[in-house]
Structure 1
Amino acid sequence: MKYDFDTVIPRRGTNSYKWDSVPQADILPMWVADMDFRTAPAVTEALKRRAAHGIFGSTRVPSAYYEAVTDWFERRHGWKINPDWIIYTTGVVPALSAVIKALAEPGDKVLVQTPVYNCFFSSIRNDGCVAEYNHLRYEDGVYTIDFEDLECKAADPSVKLMLLCNPHNPAGRVWSREELEKIADICLRNGVFVVADEIHCELVYPGHRYTPFASLSEEALLHSVTCISPSKAFNLAGIQIANIVAADEEVRKKIDRAINVNEVCDVNSFAVDALVAAYGEGEEWLEELKRYLYGNYETVREFFRERLPQFHILPLEGTYLVWIDCSVLGISSEEAAGKLMEEGRIMVNSGEMYGETEGCFIRLNIACPRELLLRGLEGIFKTFGDAERGGGPMRS
């Protein structure tokens, strides 16, 4: 490979939320969704040039920024975005909060499909709205959408918005065009506005294709907004940059007002340069990254097949977040995560964090050099190998 994803780069002591928040130094963090790889060299070089200038005043977002976004999505995904539709902000979570503030009133209901990214819940709650659950159906080791339930929930007049996670975190699904069209049909018929979080859109693996929700039709475009960012694909979460794509002018005005009310209307100069470099020169690096990540997923799958076969590794269609069904243990997700930290010295996220209330699930971040991945897998085996060897369900 041209790019190095194998070198272990120390992150402790760099004020890394992922690494410096763990309670003991010997615990391997495989939780927070950022990667343990350096970003694309083109991004690093752009940031070096910016730093060398030495002046970091208020930033004007140039036309090159909008061109980078629109060219990238048209070239890679066939979605033609008008630059006028773009509202920049500091991150997808602030974007979601501003959109909810702009388009819903306190007390309104917002549809979510659990298990789902935990910040959906806080964004809804912080804007005084109420989460309404369209639980994903878990059958034969795969999550699918319960469209009958979605139709029922969308018909409630108090449901104003739906937060769509596409690709889905943590289930690892990349929603097909057919599934998205069914969502669009239900939401359009019931007057439910779709807010699509598509932050993981670049991390899609062979056999699957990311379809922007807004690209489905003119009606879907005008009755939705899309939140995008290079932060997951290029490991730029700390740079803080995201975009809201809103084609309807009145909707865009409301969101722009909410962005200003929430005081997340300015971005820094490093963020602008990083995005332009990532979208302008980072494509080759991204494609190699995806191959490495999928190799990590295959490593996880093979490890469990050989050494922990009673656990189920869900198919990873997109993201770098592997969802693991540990229900054979007979304990809760929180207990499983706790045991992994205490006994396996590995920190993961429990399924309950994402609204999964049945069974036992953990989310494993595999975006790391394979050496660290294997260390984490050995920690899982050390913790749960006894159950696999016939010890039966574990009890706390």
Structure 2
Amino acid sequence: MTLVHDFDSTLNRKNTQCKKWDTYGDDVIPMWIADTDFKCPEPIVKAIQKRAEHAIFGYPCIDKGYEEAVCGWQKRRFGWEVKPSWVEYTPAVVPAIVYAMRAFTNPGDNVLVQMPAYHPFHQVIPHNGRYIAPNLLLHNEDGSWSIDWEDMEKKLSDPRTTMFLLCSPHNPTGKCFTREELEKISELCIKHNVFVVSDEIHSDIIYKGFKHIPFGSISEAAANNCVVCVNPSKTFNIAGFRTGAAIIPNSNKHNRFYSEMENLKAFGRNIFGTLAVQTAYTKCDYYADQLMEYLQGNLDYTHKFLQENIPQIKLGPIQATYLLWLDCKGLNMEHSKMMKFFLEKAKVAMNDGYTFGPGGDGFMRLNIACPRAQLVEALERMAKAVKELSK
């Protein structure tokens, strides 16, 4: 019997050491950081409860069931045949990016990043002595985003550029890359001897009409020139367990990655996190399917609401992620005042587009992974605040 999850149910997250809800005041609706306001799937909760009853939480040993669970998910959901020997446990995606950067580049090298970009990318690259080579995505008239191929190859052909940090699907624009786009990226990177690190943390959140293609599944050549970083945290709301995986098909590259982890002593596994991931990837397909149905409803509602009530805010076609990249330039407001306006006048917390780097001015990022009633309230607050602007 298939379980049914109630995504309309609400749970008070205040005062639970919750970054999303405890950062701003009680009168603010938090629609910012990328976790959901949905309860975890029942199988995960029960598995954690059962393990907690054991009452001893000493050092864990490596359970190959973890790697096998990652492989099974990639096969069922995306058709990618991953071998357990390719999988390496990591505490999260960003640490995996750091391990890869230290393993496959040298201080002073350039790392190509498509802009606007997930804000930690702007931090971890310079913090590790590398430089960002920005490749701005092109914002089309219909609100969609496309790749500037000419600029990309120019940046990749620079001998100082040794890594491409790809975010697929793309955060914050919500772009789901096509097979043809990924094939061309792979060809260009191989041509110019550039290694690819693909952050695929949002790969489960794909809307109707689109399909996620794991970078390592494109071809044998692509697989031998990449690290694919995955994590079920966005899908199943388990970011607090700090548990993810890196998939590295090439054994020599895998050894280099592992050596860097060894240098940094980055091996500790979280007992509950490992169990949560194994359970998510083996018993919670139903939840991922139902989640996407609910998010599709939230996305459709938001599109319609903005068109009818806040036409000054534009939302282009969103292909992936539950993070909506709102074009707020129609408000005719200095970007420096935008975050304050929504926070103080609308009492809605979103992510400031400025923090995503070039291409982020005039944009705000809205998280719609919440019960419908919460989304409705947030949008109505925004509409009321914008209406007050014209008075």
TM-score by length of 2: 0.96
| Helix, strand or coil at the partner of 2:46 | helix
Distance 1:251 1:55, change over 3 A: same
2:257 pairs with 224, 232, 255, which one?
255
1:309 pairs with 302, 308, 311, which one?
311
In the TM superposition, what are the counterparts of 1:215-364 in structure 2 within 5 Å? 215-357=217-359, 359-364=361-366
Report the equivalent of 1:101: 102
Query: What do the CA deviations read for 1:326-358 (whole angstroms, capped 9, x no partner)?
Result: 111222444212100010111101111111446
| Helix, strand or coil at the partner of 1:312 | coil
Q: Which amino acid aligns with 2:103?
A: A
| Helix, strand or coil at the partner of 1:169 | coil
Equivalent-residue separation in structure 1 for 2:168 and 2:105 (angstroms):
21
| Helix, strand or coil at the partner of 1:53 | coil
Report the equivalent of 1:155: 157
In the TM superposition, what are the counterparts of 1:135-150 in structure 2 within 5 Å? 135-140=136-141, 141-150=143-152
In the TM superposition, what are the counterparts of 1:16-165 in structure 2 within 5 Å? 16-22=18-24, 24-140=25-141, 141-165=143-167
Query: What do the CA deviations read for 1:107-160 (whole angstroms, capped 9, x no partner)?
Result: 100000011111111111121100010000111111111011101110000000
Report the equivalent of 2:194: 192
Q: Which amino acid aligns with 1:256?
A: Y
Report the equivalent of 1:172: 174
Percent identity of the aligned residues? 37
| Helix, strand or coil at the partner of 1:196 | strand
Report the equivalent of 1:366: 368
Equivalent-residue separation in structure 1 for 2:313 and 2:164 (angstroms):
32
8 Å CA contact 1:240–1:267 kept in 2: the answer is no
Give the stretch that moved more between structures: 71-80 or 261-270: 261-270
Equivalent-residue separation in structure 2 for 1:256 and 1:383 (angstroms):
51
Distance 1:334 1:38, change over 3 A: farther
Equivalent-residue separation in structure 1 for 2:227 and 2:285 (angstroms):
25
Report the equivalent of 1:207: 209
8 Å CA contact 1:172–1:314 kept in 2: the answer is no
Q: Which amino acid aligns with 2:270?
A: N
Distance 1:16 1:181, change over 3 A: same
Shift of 1:34: 0.3
Q: Which amino acid aligns with 1:34?
A: D
Q: Which amino acid aligns with 1:330?
A: N
Distance 1:46 1:333, change over 3 A: farther
8 Å CA contact 2:326–2:366 kept in 1: the answer is yes
8 Å CA contact 1:330–1:360 kept in 2: the answer is no
Shift of 1:386: 4.3
8 Å CA contact 2:324–2:365 kept in 1: the answer is yes
Equivalent-residue separation in structure 1 for 2:360 and 2:47 (angstroms):
46
8 Å CA contact 1:325–1:359 kept in 2: the answer is no
Q: Which amino acid aligns with 1:69?
A: V
Equivalent-residue separation in structure 2 for 1:257 and 1:380 (angstroms):
49
| Helix, strand or coil at the partner of 1:160 | strand
Unaligned runs of 5+ in 2: none
| Helix, strand or coil at the partner of 2:100 | helix
Equivalenced residues, count: 388
Query: What do the CA deviations read for 1:219-248 (whole angstroms, capped 9, x no partner)?
Result: 000011100011111111001111111112
Shift of 1:291: 0.6
| Helix, strand or coil at the partner of 1:257 | helix
Q: Which runs of 4+ in 1 moved over 3 A?
A: 356-359
Shift of 1:314: 2.0
Query: What do the CA deviations read for 1:261-283 (whole angstroms, capped 9, x no partner)?
Result: 33332111101111111011100
8 Å CA contact 1:326–1:359 kept in 2: the answer is no
8 Å CA contact 1:59–1:267 kept in 2: the answer is yes
Distance 1:333 1:33, change over 3 A: farther
Query: What do the CA deviations read for 1:66-110 (whole angstroms, capped 9, x no partner)?
Result: 211111111211111111111101100111111111111111000
Give the stretch that moved more between structures: 96-105 or 195-204: 96-105
Equivalent-residue separation in structure 2 for 1:316 and 1:172 (angstroms):
5
